[in-house]
Amino acid sequence: MDLNTAASYAEILGLATILGAAIYSWFQIKELRRSRDSTTAMNLAANFQDEDFVYGLTVIMNMEFDTQEDPTPSGEMNIKDFQEKLGDDWPKVAKVLTTWESIGVLIHRGDVDFHAFYDLFSGVIIKSYNMFSFFFDPIRQDGKDKNMEWFLWLADRVIEFEKEGSGTPPAHIAFADWKPPKRTY
């Protein structure tokens, strides 16, 4: 074998090695993303195992609160009045709201998958948003107020997602025909 032929084979081998490494890297990156998304989803779901979060969420989900009963002169309930009305439950409700705030930032930055969040929390975030509209409406009107800005952003994204028709019906309806995959061992 002459030197030119050997050099050609070496170039082909080098190209094949580079292509193989690129393909392998592509699969590895894809697997890492799936792993990250899975870990993120598990971390989101872990909120349901936090006693204070679950308690605060239960308070929000069961609230029947009429802001028309507000005794303040302006007729608008402020957060201080709301804290007093909730009493000892306020810190747990605040934990839920600040969790939504934190998740909003993480979704915006791409650190948390929006769809995993949506599947786990879409109903409860809309309920949380609606229950606190008396507090959020004035924030929206004041372009400089940054209170709960990421919670507002996140609630808006979930509401828009559903208005566009991209949301899913409740899981017990949307996936009624789902069957677990058969075991392969």
Is residue 185 one of the residues assigned to a domain?
no
Q: What is the pTM of this model?
A: 0.67
- The answer to whether residue 45 is domain-embedded is no
Predicted confidence (pLDDT) per residue in 52-93, tens digit = 888 998 888 888 755 555 544 454 556 677 778 788 999 999
83 and 151 in a common domain: yes
Q: What is the pLDDT of residue 28?
A: 86
Spell out the long-range contacts of 119-127 with Cβ–Cβ below 8 A and sequence spacing 24 or more.
119/168, 119/171, 120/41, 120/44, 120/45, 121/44, 122/158, 122/161, 122/162, 122/167, 123/170, 124/57, 124/60, 124/61, 125/100, 125/154, 125/155, 125/158, 126/155, 126/158, 126/159, 127/60, 127/61
The answer to whether residue 179 is domain-embedded is no
What pLDDT sits at residue 73? 46
Q: Please, what is the average pLDDT of the chain?
A: 81
pLDDT value at position 78? 66
Q: Are residues 76 and 117 in the same domain?
A: yes
Instruction: State the pLDDT at residue 76.
Output: 55
- Same domain for 58 and 16: no
Which pLDDT belongs to residue 154? 93
Q: What's the pLDDT score for residue 155?
A: 92
77 with 106, same domain: the answer is yes
The number of folded domains in the chain is: 2
Please check whether residue 120 lies inside any domain of the structure: yes
Statement to judge: residues 4 and 79 lie in one domain: no
Whether residue 87 sits in one domain with residue 8: no
Does any domain span residue 177?
no
> Residue 138 has what pLDDT?
76
Domain membership of residue 117 as a residue range:
50-170
- For residue 184, is it within any domain? no
Identify the segments of the chain with pLDDT beneath 70. Answer: 37, 41, 65-79
Query: Quick check: is 9 in a domain?
Result: yes
Residue 183 lies in a domain: no
Residues 119 and 150 in one domain: yes
